[in-house]
Structure 1
Amino acid sequence: MDKFQAFGKNFKDSFMPVAARTGQYFREQLGQVDDKTELPPDYIELEKRIDALKQVHQKMLSVTSQYTHEAYDYPTNIRESFNDLGRTVSEKVSLLSNANSPAEAAAAMTAPPAAKPQPKTLSHALARASLNSSHTLTQNSASGGSASGGGGEDPLATALENYAVASEKVGEARLAQDAAIQARFLAGWSTTLNTNLQFATRARKQVENARLSLDAAKARAKSGGAGFGGMGQKRDGGVMDEEHLSEEARAEIEAKEDEFVAQTEEAVGVMKNVRTVMLSGKWFWFADVDVQVLDTPEPLRNLAELIAAQLEYHKKAFEILSELAPVVDQLQVEQEASYRKSREGQ
């Protein structure tokens, strides 16, 4: 019997508060509640700032998370073979330079693959396509069994080979950029969104639960004390008259008010701390610090890291292509001169 009574008490203690909150919530949603306990203005302001912070992280991460996918710029319409992805362009160029016959050059292009497949990026794909094109031209222009390094090189083949090497370097720079962004930007912002902001979400939920419990208790008192054994009576206009509340009703409402105030104060502290914690990875407790002091530079620091990684990538790409451009320009000038000379001799 004692166990049954204990079970009944535990069930009542755990179920009744949830039922009261749920009932109050649905009455509010149906417009059956005339008044609700108001939240403090500073709490509402903090909620707006936290919501804005969450939206910023979601929007930025929805785009920048692409940096975690190697093939975000890889052409979807190409089909590269196992041999295409087997060795780096640089390795194949080295093998081609040591080839002494067309057969050896062909073997260099189909050399056994390395342990790791080559990256699938636009720049790497361009590199592989350019080298394959260069090899095709070399095979067809070779005469007398000369290898790819022979004296009768095709200018376009040479330019394509140089472009292949440069494109692979650009691709490697892009991968380095992606790794830097993942480590210095995405890691911090993802932690904030998926972990640190959850502290604020849970604290705000506790405040909402406390408010619903308080308003549910007030509603019972207003309706005549249902559930409290005559704790109060419904007064004119439906306004609760505290003088007619029973001690039990008054005590419960006061307890609910204390809980609501305590949960609100705790949530304010948590939300302020989220502003401090959000990207630093550490907790700092400043219960009485003004909110403006908590506008840390961490988001800008991480954004600066994102920009720095992009800048480094574009700088390297510029340097690589700047070295390549005059080489290809010179090949073009020489080919045009040779073409004009051949036309003049006709």
Structure 2
Amino acid sequence: MDNFKAFSSQLSSIGSQITPFASRTFQYTKEQLGQAEDKTQLPPDYIDLEKRVDALKQVHQKMLAVTSQYSNESYDYPPNIKETFQDLGRTVSEKVHLLSSATTPAEAQAALTAPPSAKPQPKTFNHALARASLSSSQLLHQQHTGAGEDPLATALEKYALASERVGEARLAQDTQIQSRFLAGWNTTLNTNLMFATRARKNVERSRLTLDSIKSRAKGTTWKIGGAAPRDDHALNSDELSPEAQEEIEKAEDEFVTQTEEAVSVMKNVRLLPLPQRFSICLSPFIVNAATQVLDTPEPLRNLAELIAAQVEYHKKAYEILSELQPVIEGLQVEQEASRTNDFSL
């Protein structure tokens, strides 16, 4: 007997949990089939707020789909090259330093194939370009038999050092973008907007609950074919029992509360008290909240930081290459002058 009572108690507990869900599902199905009447409508300003939040979410998704590449070090690394661990073992600057003290081809080769350092060198386009330039420079140096240095080999070595500096500037840019743009926009997308979505779902659940209670209290049910709904026991608001009226009012209060919380999350502001009855318009409150938050400077501030990081990188790259350009042009002039002299002899 005790076991039966315990089993009955468990069923009652499960039933109390399933019933609200079943009621909402039933109400949702009726609405999808066009069988529901008197669907509670959200204020136009709330709907407008939802649309604006959805637009903000799409903006974040589109921008992050591209800018998230700044978290991938090798986003511009050439896919058609193959570099070994020895190639990535030392920086170009370290290799140049070792090469400067090499006195034989064997020592020069050893400098290029020095044991790898603890951390492999970056795989970026400019770093790869630097390594390729230095390797090419050494190939020319090794085969050079004339007086002095091979001008192209010298130019390639200088270009290698400059390219590595540009690559380091790009990595510095990426770090700034990750911390000052990606972090903020990812937080908005994965936290703020996620909470807003949950809050909006709570509003929809509370609305379905409210409408299912109203429908049940007024005795409406399914339409069959083109027939009108069965309303043998339909009651207007004056004829509702005190219990039914109390249940509806409780559901309305919950609906108002969930709507208030959704507005709070979507707009992320301290809310003013809402009226207890949903029949009082929410529009002035929502407009006030929207004015305060949709104009928040945070996303634009993050975008400004992104652009500032890009400007700093391109400015640095321009300075490095502008410094290198006259040096390379000088080598070119010297080579052409030397070539002219050779022909004149």
The residue aligned with 2:225 is none
- 55-64 or 247-256, larger mean C-alpha shift: 247-256
1:31 aligns with 2:34: yes
The residue aligned with 1:220 is 216
Backbone CA RMSD of aligned residues: 2.1
- 211-220 or 83-92, larger mean C-alpha shift: 211-220
- 293-302 or 82-91, larger mean C-alpha shift: 293-302
Structure 1 residues 152 and 262, CA gap change in structure 2 (3 angstroms)? same
- 34-43 or 116-125, larger mean C-alpha shift: 34-43
Aligned-partner Cα distance in 2 for 1:239–1:62: 54
User: Cα offset for 1:10?
Assistant: 1.8
The residue aligned with 1:164 is 160
1:261 aligns with 2:261: no
Aligned-partner Cα distance in 2 for 1:266–1:299: 23
State the one-letter code of the partner of 2:270. W
The residue aligned with 2:176 is 180
The residue aligned with 1:293 is 292
1:247 aligns with 2:242: yes
Aligned-partner Cα distance in 2 for 1:259–1:221: 17
Query: Aligned with 2:262: secondary structure?
Result: helix
Structure 1 residues 271 and 59, CA gap change in structure 2 (3 angstroms)? same
Aligned 1:197-346 pairs, distance under 5 A: 197-223=193-219, 234-235=230-231, 241-273=236-268, 285-287=270-272, 289-294=288-293, 295-345=295-345
Structure 1 residues 120 and 41, CA gap change in structure 2 (3 angstroms)? same
Q: Which runs of 5+ in 1 are unaligned?
A: 144-150, 227-232, 274-283
Q: Which runs of 5+ in 2 are unaligned?
A: 223-228, 273-284
Aligned-partner Cα distance in 2 for 1:325–1:224: 83
User: Is contact 1:25-1:212 (8 Å) kept?
Assistant: yes
User: Cα offset for 1:286?
Assistant: 4.1
The residue aligned with 1:68 is 71
CA displacement, residues 112-144 of structure 1 (integer Å, 9 cap, x when unaligned):
11111110000000000000000000001146x
CA displacement, residues 276-320 of structure 1 (integer Å, 9 cap, x when unaligned):
xxxxxxxx5243654212222111111111111111110110000
User: Cα offset for 1:214?
Assistant: 1.2
Structure 1 residues 269 and 162, CA gap change in structure 2 (3 angstroms)? same
The residue aligned with 1:89 is 92
State the one-letter code of the partner of 1:75. P
Runs of 4+ in 1 over 6 A off after TM superposition: none
User: Is contact 2:91-2:121 (8 Å) kept?
Assistant: yes
| TM-score, structure 1 as length reference | 0.87
Q: Bigger relative contact order, structure 1 or 2, given CA contacts below 8 A and separation 6+?
A: 2
CA displacement, residues 315-341 of structure 1 (integer Å, 9 cap, x when unaligned):
110000001000100011111111222
The residue aligned with 1:112 is 115
Aligned 1:126-165 pairs, distance under 5 A: 126-142=129-145, 152-165=148-161
Aligned-partner Cα distance in 1 for 2:241–2:175: 66
Query: Percentage identity across aligned positions?
Result: 65
Structure 1 residues 3 and 239, CA gap change in structure 2 (3 angstroms)? closer
Aligned-partner Cα distance in 2 for 1:82–1:176: 24
Structure 1 residues 211 and 155, CA gap change in structure 2 (3 angstroms)? same
The residue aligned with 2:18 is 15
State the aligned residue count. 321
CA displacement, residues 148-191 of structure 1 (integer Å, 9 cap, x when unaligned):
xxx52110000000000000000000000000110111111111
Aligned-partner Cα distance in 1 for 2:11–2:307: 61
State the one-letter code of the partner of 1:271. M
Query: Aligned with 1:136: secondary structure?
Result: helix
CA displacement, residues 219-238 of structure 1 (integer Å, 9 cap, x when unaligned):
22344589xxxxxx9448x9
The residue aligned with 2:278 is none
Query: Aligned with 1:188: secondary structure?
Result: helix
Aligned-partner Cα distance in 1 for 2:247–2:23: 13
User: Cα offset for 1:240?
Assistant: 5.4
